[in-house]
């Protein structure tokens, strides 16, 4: 199925912004990359800001919105370590996905410049995901799967290495360097973390 012109515009704008930031993605450059007249973009978007707004919606659609779309956090958390493995597998797939890599690059470029992007980053990558994971750890504590502690701090401790690994994967790929050392590192993180929090029966 052929992509719509609107999808092609968003894809081209995403690529250009990942390469050169917001200011480097002019409407002329976007049109040229899509292979249309610049005026044709305005049939789909009011201006470049509207394109960027749409990209931001995609950027900050949490990777785990889909993961939990048909799952209950409470039910999943009762799986304990298996739940964390599934969570990390979803995170790993996103970390190696070229499309999400472009999104991640835009975030890193633009959140240094734009307060709005910083606010959205904090809201989705920290507040939302940490809150969800903290809820899961709290459920695990209630079912005596992990030791009692601050669930929010536990969530931060679990997520931070994943974020660092995702950043490392992106930086290595930018330089064309191998990322094979990360093929098992995500899963090993779960094993290492679980040893420190699990209640041994």
- Per-residue pLDDT reduced to its tens digit, 58-114: 766 655 666 666 678 889 999 999 999 999 998 898 888 887 888 788 888 888 887
Q: What is the rounded CA–CA span in Å between residue 159 and residue 26?
A: 35
Domain residue ranges in the chain: 5-54, 60-197
CA–CA separation, 90 vs 167, rounded Å? Answer: 16
* pLDDT value for 63: 58
pLDDT score of 60: 63
Q: Tell me which CATH code domain 60-197 carries.
A: 1.10.357
> Angle formed by the axes of helices 129-142 and 151-174, to 10°?
130
Report the C-alpha gap between 110 and 96 in whole angstroms: 21
Distances (CA, A) of 122 to 107, 117, 129: 11, 9, 10
Pick the CATH number of 5-54 from 3.50.50.60, 3.40.50.2300, 1.10.10.60, 3.30.530.20: 1.10.10.60
Is the distance from CB of 132 to CB of 68 less than 8 angstroms?
yes
pLDDT, tens only, 133-167: 999 999 999 999 999 999 999 999 999 999 999 99
- Between the alpha carbon of residue 175 and those of residues 19, 101, 168, 171, the distances in Å are 14, 14, 11, 7
């Amino acid at each position: 199925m052929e992509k719509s012109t609107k999808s092609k515009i968003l894809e081209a704008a995403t690529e250009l912004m990942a390469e050169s930031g917001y200011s480097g993605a002019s409407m002329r450059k976007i049109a040229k990359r899509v292979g249309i007249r610049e005026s044709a973009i305005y049939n789909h978007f009011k201006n470049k800001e509207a394109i960027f707004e749409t990209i931001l919606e995609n950027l900050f659609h949490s990777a785990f919105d889909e993961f939990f779309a048909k799952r209950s956090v409470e039910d999943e958390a009762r799986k304990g370590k298996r739940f964390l493995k599934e969570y990390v597998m979803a995170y790993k797939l996103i970390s190696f996905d070229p499309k999400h890599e472009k999104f991640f690059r835009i975030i890193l470029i633009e959140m240094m410049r734009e307060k709005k992007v910083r606010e959205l980053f904090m809201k989705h990558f920290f507040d939302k995901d940490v809150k969800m994971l903290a809820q899961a750890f709290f459920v695990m504590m209630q079912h005596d799967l992990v030791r009692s502690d601050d669930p929010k701090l536990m969530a931060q401790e679990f997520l931070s290495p994943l974020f660092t690994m995702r950043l490392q994967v992106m930086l290595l790929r930018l330089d064309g360097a191998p990322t094979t050392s990360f093929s098992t590192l995500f899963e090993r993180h779960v094993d290492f973390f679980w040893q420190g929090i699990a209640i041994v029966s």
